A and B are shown apart, each in its own frame.
Chain A
Amino acid sequence: MLAKRIIPCLDVCDGRVVKGVNFVGLRDAGDPSELAARYNDEGADELVFLDITASVEGRKIFLNVLRRTAEQLFIPLSVGGGMKTIEDVREALANGADKVSLNTMIVKNPELLHDTSEEFGSQCIVASIDAKRVGESWRVFTYGGRTPTEIDAIKWAKRCESLGAGEILLTSMDADGTKRGFDLKLTRAVCDAVRIPVIASGGAGTKQDFADVFEKTGADAALAASVFHYDKTSVKKIKKFLKNRGVEVR
Chain B
Amino acid sequence: MKPRIGIVDYGAGNLFSVRGGLAAAGARAALVKTSGEIAACDALVIPGVGAFGPAMRKLEPLRLTIEEFASSGKPLLGICLGMQVFLESSDESPGVRGFGFFEGGVKRFPSSVKIPQIGWNQLRFRGNCPLFRELKNGEYAYFVNSYYAKPKDEGVISADSNYGVRFASAVWRENVFATQFHPEKSGDTGIAMLKNFVELAKK
Contacts and interface: CB of A to CB of B under 8 A. Distances in A.
Interface of A: 1-3, 5, 40, 43, 45, 70-71, 73-76, 93-98, 120-124, 166-167, 195-197, 220-221, 250
Contact of A40 (B50, B145, B184, B187): B187
A197 B191 contact: no
A74 B50 contact: no
B101 interface: no
B10 to A, nearest CB: 14
Interface residues of B, number: 33
Given A40-B187, A45-B120, A221-B119, A121 B114 contact: no
B175 to A, nearest CB: 25
B120 A5 contact: yes
A225 to B, nearest CB: 20
Contacts of B187: 40, 43, 74-75
A122 B116 contact: yes
A2 B14 contact: no
Given A1-B162, A98-B14, A74 B184 contact: yes
B142 A70 contact: no
Contacts of A95: 16
A196 B114 contact: yes
B120 A3 contact: yes
B118 interface: yes
Nearest to B139: A250
Contact of A123 (B24, B49, B184): B49
B142 A75 contact: yes
A60 B186 CA distance: 29
11 contacts: A2-B119, A5-B120, A40-B187, A70-B17, A74-B191, A75-B142, A75-B186, A166-B116, A166-B118, A195-B115, A196-B114
B185 A76 contact: yes
Given A2-B121, A2-B163, A75-B187, 9 more contacts: A1-B162, A5-B119, A40-B187, A45-B119, A74-B185, A74-B188, A121-B50, A167-B118, A196-B114
B142 A121 contact: no
Between B119, B182, B190, the greatest number of chain A beta carbons within 10 A of the residue's beta carbon is seen for B119
Contacts of A45: 119-120
Nearest to A221: B119
B196 interface: no
A71 B19 CA distance: 10
Nearest to B143: A2
B49 A121 contact: yes
Given A70-B20, A123-B116, A197-B114, A3 B51 contact: no
B120 A250 contact: yes
B24 A220 contact: no
Contacts of B182: 76
Contacts of B121: 1-3
B21 interface: yes
B119 A74 contact: no
B116 to A, nearest CB: 5
A250 B140 contact: yes
B119 A3 contact: yes
Interface in B108-137: 114-122
Contact of A124 (B49, B114, B120, B140): B49
8 closest Cβ contacts across the A-B interface? A2-B119, A250-B140, A3-B120, A123-B144, A250-B120, A123-B116, A96-B16, A121-B50
